[in-house]
């Protein structure tokens, strides 16, 4: 009987692989570090792209500079502005309801051509509160700074009309009441903020305003509305619950990346001066209209103030308009002669604000209409 053939067992072919490198022992700490460390990006991607600065050094200007000292005329300041050191420091009244109202001040030298700048620095931040006898806790007045430009005769609360533009401390830019958030960066105490106005027709940034913080640009050039083209624009500042240092020239507190003349050094041909309309005999007038109730008194007053802008109205309705411009809710109810004060703020509702105005007005040199 033939022997059975035994099947031969052939081992499976093993694919040839390159010799593996000896494994290294990796500690848990090294593994975690490798996982946490992001891969390195190419140098080109690492470096943030910076836009080219289109503003260049000012050319030498041999034209005569205007000689008027830059400051603030009393008629171009709200009643709660206290200018000191010849207008180099602006402070505000912060008692008797005044702490809720925005203070505004427009400079006496404006620009109609060329490129110029001025600086503002917050040197004191305040937190005024109500008197201790207030029954309930009321919100404190929020700190606020607006720096920009406006035309002569514009409302003193910057942002009340389309005749002014400004940057604010919250990082916004506004043309009148139309505000764009994130157009610049926030700023706070001890930072030197420079506002640059470019009206040079030959510049790529013509008819724009820009903001710089401690010498570095923090906003793109913001275009001026066409309604302001060709008009003289005056430095304008609005603030609340802060004290400000104002520098109009001749040297900046913080140099910009390019040389630029300041408002004080503006050429006479580029500048417009707002003269203070002081009476010849040094005496101001107080006008007290007498009329029957609801017989058109306020219509007459509106027409009078339009024709005589040097007069300041002292009335309850004017206080409410000022409060509305400062962000407080518009009040309803009452009459034209006696509007209702119901803000929920003790020093506003108990008419402490009116008493403060009556105490301050006699020491502020200007003409008044008491209604």
3-state secondary structure 215-271: CEECCCCEECCHHHCCCCEEEEEEEECEEEEEECCCCCCCCCCCCCCEHHHCEHHHE
Task: Specify the pLDDT at position 330.
Answer: 84
**Domain 74-273 homologous superfamily, CATH:** SPRY domain (2.60.120.920)
Give the burial class of 206: count Cβ atoms within 10 A of its Cβ; 0-12 exposed, 13-18 middle, 19 or more buried.
Answer: middle
Are the beta carbons of 154 and 148 closer than 8 angstroms? no
Closest by Cα among 193, 194, 217, 168 to 54: 217
Task: Specify the pLDDT at position 229.
Answer: 97
Radius of gyration of the chain (CA): 32
Task: Specify the pLDDT at position 24.
Answer: 47
Decide: pTM greater than 0.85: no
Task: Tell whether the torsion through CA atoms of 80, 133, 128 and 240 is positive or negative.
Answer: negative
Domain residue extents for the chain: 74-273, 286-370
How far apart are alpha carbons 139 and 274 in whole angstroms?
38
Residue 254, Cβ neighbours under 10 Å: how many? 16
Per-residue pLDDT of the chain (371 residues; tens, 9 = 90+): 444 444 444 444 444 444 444 444 545 545 444 444 545 544 434 433 467 899 999 999 999 999 999 999 999 999 999 999 989 999 999 989 999 999 999 999 999 999 999 999 999 999 887 765 555 556 668 899 999 999 999 999 999 999 999 999 999 999 999 999 999 999 999 999 999 999 999 999 999 999 999 999 999 999 999 999 999 999 999 999 999 999 998 899 999 999 999 999 999 999 999 988 778 888 899 999 988 877 778 888 999 999 998 899 999 989 999 999 999 988 887 776 778 888 888 888 888 999 999 999 998 889 999 98
E strand or H helix that includes residue 92: strand 89-92
3-state secondary structure of 103: strand
Task: Specify the pLDDT at position 132.
Answer: 53
């Amino acid at each position: 009987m033939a022997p059975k053939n035994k099947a031969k067992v052939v081992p499976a072919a093993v694919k040839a692989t390159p010799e593996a490198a000896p494994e290294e022992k990796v500690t848990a700490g090294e593994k975690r570090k490798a996982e946490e460390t992001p891969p390195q990006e190419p140098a080109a991607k690492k470096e943030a792209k910076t836009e080219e600065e289109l503003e260049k050094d000012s050319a030498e200007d041999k034209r005569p500079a205007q000689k008027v000292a830059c400051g603030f005329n009393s008629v171009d300041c709200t009643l709660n502005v206290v200018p000191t050191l010849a207008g180099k420091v602006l402070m505000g009244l912060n008692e008797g309801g005044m702490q809720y109202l925005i203070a505004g001040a427009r400079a006496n030298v404006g620009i109609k051509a060329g490129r110029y700048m001025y600086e503002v620095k917050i040197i004191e931040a305040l937190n005024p509160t109500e008197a201790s006898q207030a029954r309930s806790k009321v919100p404190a007045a929020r700190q606020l700074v607006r720096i920009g430009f406006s035309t002569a005769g514009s409302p003193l609360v910057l942002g009340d009309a389309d005749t002014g533009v400004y940057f604010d401390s919250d990082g916004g830019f506004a043309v009148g009441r139309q505000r764009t958030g994130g157009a610049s960066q926030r700023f706070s105490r001890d930072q030197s903020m420079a506002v640059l106005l470019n009206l040079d027709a030959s510049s790529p940034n013509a008819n724009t305003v820009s903001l710089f913080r401690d010498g570095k640009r923090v906003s793109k050039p913001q275009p001026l509305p066409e309604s302001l083209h060709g008009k003289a624009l005056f430095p304008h500042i609005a603030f609340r619950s802060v004290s400000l240092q104002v520098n109009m020239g001749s040297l900046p507190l913080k140099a910009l990346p390019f040389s630029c003349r300041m408002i004080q050094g503006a050429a006479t041909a580029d500048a417009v001066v707002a003269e203070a309309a002081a009476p010849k005999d040094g005496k101001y007038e107080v006008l007290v209209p007498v009329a029957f109730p609801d017989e058109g008194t306020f219509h007459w007053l509106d027409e009078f103030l339009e024709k005589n802008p040097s007069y300041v109205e002292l009335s309850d309705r004017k206080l409410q308009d000022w409060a509305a411009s400062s962000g407080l809710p518009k009040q309803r109810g009452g009459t034209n002669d006696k509007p209702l004060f119901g803000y929920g703020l003790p020093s506003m509702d108990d008419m402490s604000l009116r008493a403060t105005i009556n105490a301050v007005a006699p020491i502020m040199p200007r003409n008044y209409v008491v209604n």
